[in-house]
């Protein structure tokens, strides 16, 4: 499947891996819904990407279900579809050492050039 015109939701898109993934999908012609819990960093990332017309910003903490819904709604409203979710937002549980990871499933898709 071509990446051109795919709609990609990316959490944690303002820095690091999330920003690099956003740039890679943008370079391949994808539409982007970009998320970060920090509105200033999200706006800076948007600027660094060149303020593309095919990108929508949704600031907020994705641990809040409403933020995820806002991302999906934005994708459907502007681009009529959702094709890819890059769930990159980091979560660090400092106060709950009893929390354990029972199962991790990792699915990867390679972007072709």
Q: In the chain, how many domains are there?
A: 1
What pLDDT shows up at residue 101? 47
User: By three-state DSSP, how is residue 57 classified?
Assistant: strand
What pLDDT shows up at residue 6? 95
> Is 35 inside any structural domain?
yes
Mean pLDDT for back-to-back runs of 10 residues, the chain (113 residues): 81 96 96 97 98 97 92 96 92 52 49 53
> Is 44 inside any structural domain?
yes
What pLDDT shows up at residue 106? 47
Structural domain range at position 50: 7-87
Q: pTM for the complete prediction?
A: 0.79
Which CATH number goes with the domain that contains 36? 3.40.50.720
> Is 18 inside any structural domain?
yes
Relative orientation angle of helices 39-48 and 16-27, to the nearest 10 degrees: 40
> Is 29 inside any structural domain?
yes
What pLDDT shows up at residue 77? 96
């Amino acid at each position: 499947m071509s990446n051109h015109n795919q709609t990609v939701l990316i959490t944690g898109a303002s820095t690091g891996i999330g920003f690099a993934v956003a740039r890679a999908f943008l370079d391949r012609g994808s539409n982007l819904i970009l998320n970060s819990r920090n509105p200033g960093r999200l706006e800076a990332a948007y600027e660094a990407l060149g303020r593309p017309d095919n990108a929508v910003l949704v600031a907020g903490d994705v641990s809040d279900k409403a933020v995820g819904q806002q991302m999906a709604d934005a994708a459907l409203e502007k681009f009529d579809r959702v094709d890819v979710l890059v769930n990159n937002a980091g979560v660090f549980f400092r106060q709950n050492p009893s929390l354990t990871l029972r199962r991790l499933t990792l699915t990867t898709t390679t972007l072709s050039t």
